[in-house]
Amino acid sequence: MLPTDGIIIEETNLKLGRFEEPSTIFIVAKNKEDIPNTYQLTIPGGLFACIRYNGELLSSRSESLRKILHYLNKNSYQITGDALQIMHLDITITDKPNEITFEIQVPFRKL
């Protein structure tokens, strides 16, 4: 099953360590012909550092982003765009906060 929604974390906020700033919500369109082009965004292919986490949206996200950024910095990788936080299991499926699951994907390239 493909993920259907999440948020976009701006590259600027990532680089400045502002992990709890407001973000843009996205949904994966099943029929993009019904959506005006001004509301469509195509994510370019490439390399992505990924991490999954369970639990609270903001505090767990901040911790996960710190881990990814530390890994990228340690290995001489550079962030190349906005990150995606994809919701895999949310409160519409479970009422147990520790079961809520997200994945973060940060695009990068080798320096």
> What is the pLDDT tens value at each position of the chain, 111 positions in all?
455 788 999 999 999 999 888 888 888 877 777 888 888 888 889 999 999 988 766 668 889 999 999 999 999 999 999 999 988 877 677 788 778 888 999 999 998
Cα separation, 108 vs 60, whole angstroms: 21
Whole-prediction pTM:
0.85
Residues contacting residue 11 through CB under 8 Å, at least 6 positions apart: 79, 80, 81, 82, 83
Specify the amino acid at residue 18: R
